[in-house]
Amino acid sequence: MPFPVSVAHSMVNSGIAQNPPTAPGDFDGLRVAIFGCATGIGRAVAEAFVAVGAQVAMADIDPSIEATAQSVGAASFHVGDIGTLDQPGRMVAEAAQALSGLDCLVNVAGIQIVGMVADTSPAAWDRLMAVNLRGPFLTCQAALPWLEQSSRGAVVNTASIAAQRGGPGGAAYAASKGGLQTFSGTLAVEWAPKGITVNTVCPGYVDTGFNAPGIALMGGQEKLEELVRQTVRLGRQATPKDIAPAYVFLASSGARYLTGKSIVIDGGIYP
Ligand SMILES: NC(=O)c1ccc[n+]([C@@H]2O[C@H](COP(=O)([O-])OP(=O)(O)OC[C@H]3O[C@@H](n4cnc5c(N)ncnc54)[C@H](O)[C@@H]3O)[C@@H](O)[C@H]2O)c1
């Protein structure tokens, strides 16, 4: 059914009709490399990109990424540890070669350590920072030569609502996500003259295996559900599919003027 004339006019006047959030053919052949997508949010992001016609390279430390990539319909898979010094660059190069270039780099890989500051070992702190913060730095660095060649280079990193405010037992994790958010904002400034956008997605509570240690520390699933009921305005945890569309939007032609920002997807915890 056609829109009433008044609605169609307001769409034209607001610019929506000329510049829709995603244009037909927007993602046809768009080359996207995703790090940390064997499970959870990353897998949903890969599925969302494939669904709109992008060519996707999937990278993860978990060898099950091979089977996941096949079932998602990805163009390639790459196994490696983003928390090392040499493997992020190797995987980016492999992914860009498999896709014959790169338009969008997505970092989702992350780990959690749960423990009070007094009990956190320097080794656990270092490992968490290596995966959550240095890993995205190294993939961004390695992706630059390819992103520069793209007419619509984009980076989407994954922080968390913990980037603004962590909870007891989550200081190291919060520090890594706060660092990633600040890194991303600064990189956006540095790469804006190159035409590359850099943004961050900050999920709230997402129902994946990732939170199991935190839920145990809280006292079990019932405690988490109580917390969600009390703090999340929409009254439930997110599913990975609630989070994934933001990544696709940030890689779309409609997001070319959006950089250095964070999209918080938390069901209304901090409206
Ligand atoms: N689940 C939540 O509530 C939540 C909330 C906010 C932010 N996040 C963030 O979202 C991201 C994804 O979390 P998720 O909930 O989907 O968890 P998940 O555990 O399902 O997914 C994490 C993925 O990263 C991969 N990975 C872990 N370490 C890696 C490494 N060293 N090298 C390469 N890959 C590695 C894992 O194998 C897995 O596929 C993480 O960065 C996490 O911090 C999650």
Give the position, in ligand 1's atom list, of the atom nearest the Cα of 203. 6
For atom 14 of ligand 1, which residue has the closest CA?
40
**C-alpha–C-alpha distance, residues 207 and 215, integer Å:** 11
For atom 23 of ligand 1, which residue has the closest CA?
36
Residue 199 main-chain phi, psi, to 5 deg: -135, 170
Q: Cβ(60) to ligand 1 under 6 A?
A: yes
Is residue 11 in a domain? no
Provide the pLDDT for residue 26.
Answer: 86
Average pLDDT over residues 11-30: 66
Is residue 5 in a domain? no
Which has the minimum average pLDDT: 85-89, 128-132, 167-171?
167-171
Q: Cβ(111) to ligand 1 under 6 A?
A: yes
**Total structural domains within the chain:** 1
Provide the pLDDT for residue 54.
Answer: 97
Provide the pLDDT for residue 8.
Answer: 43
Residue with token string 């590359």: 196
d(CA 186, ligand 1 centre) in Å = 23
Give the position, in ligand 1's atom list, of the atom nearest the Cα of 42. 16
Is residue 270 in a domain? no
Average pLDDT over residues 231-256: 97
**C-alpha–C-alpha distance, residues 102 and 223, integer Å:** 43
Provide the pLDDT for residue 100.
Answer: 98
* Chain segment 221-237, per-residue pLDDT in tens: 999 999 999 999 999 99
Q: Cβ(81) to ligand 1 under 6 A?
A: yes
Domain that holds residue 182: 27-265
Average pLDDT over residues 235-250: 97
Provide the pLDDT for residue 268.
Answer: 96
Give the position, in ligand 1's atom list, of the atom nearest the Cα of 65. 39
Q: Cβ(77) to ligand 1 under 6 A?
A: no
Strand 104-107: give its sheet, edge to edge.
Answer: 76-79, 55-60, 31-35, 104-107, 154-158, 197-203, 262-265
Is residue 121 in a domain? yes
Rg (C-alpha) for the chain, rounded Å, is 19
Is residue 252 in a domain? yes
Q: Which residues are catalytic?
A: 173
* Chain segment 35-85, per-residue pLDDT in tens: 999 999 999 999 999 999 999 999 999 999 999 999 999 999 999 999 999
* Chain segment 177-219, per-residue pLDDT in tens: 999 999 999 999 999 999 999 999 999 999 999 999 889 988 9
Is residue 203 in a domain? yes
DSSP state of 3: P
Residue 151 has pLDDT above 50, yes or no: yes
Is residue 96 in a domain? yes
Residue 4 has pLDDT above 80, yes or no: no
For a ligand 1 pocket test, name from 206, 217, 232, 239 the mutation site with the most ligand atoms within 8 angstroms of its C-beta. Answer: 206
For a ligand 1 pocket test, name from 58, 165, 208, 262 the mutation site with the most ligand atoms within 8 angstroms of its C-beta. Answer: 208
For atom 19 of ligand 1, which residue has the closest CA?
210
Find the CATH number of the domain harbouring 169. Answer: 3.40.50.720
Is residue 4 in a domain? no
Provide the pLDDT for residue 23.
Answer: 72
Q: Cβ(110) to ligand 1 under 6 A?
A: yes
Residue 257 has pLDDT above 60, yes or no: yes
Provide the pLDDT for residue 271.
Answer: 62
Q: Cβ(266) to ligand 1 under 6 A?
A: no
d(CA 95, ligand 1 centre) in Å = 19
State how far the alpha carbon of 217 is from the alpha carbons of 93, 161, 169, 196, 227, in Å.
39, 19, 8, 40, 13
d(CA 61, ligand 1 centre) in Å = 11
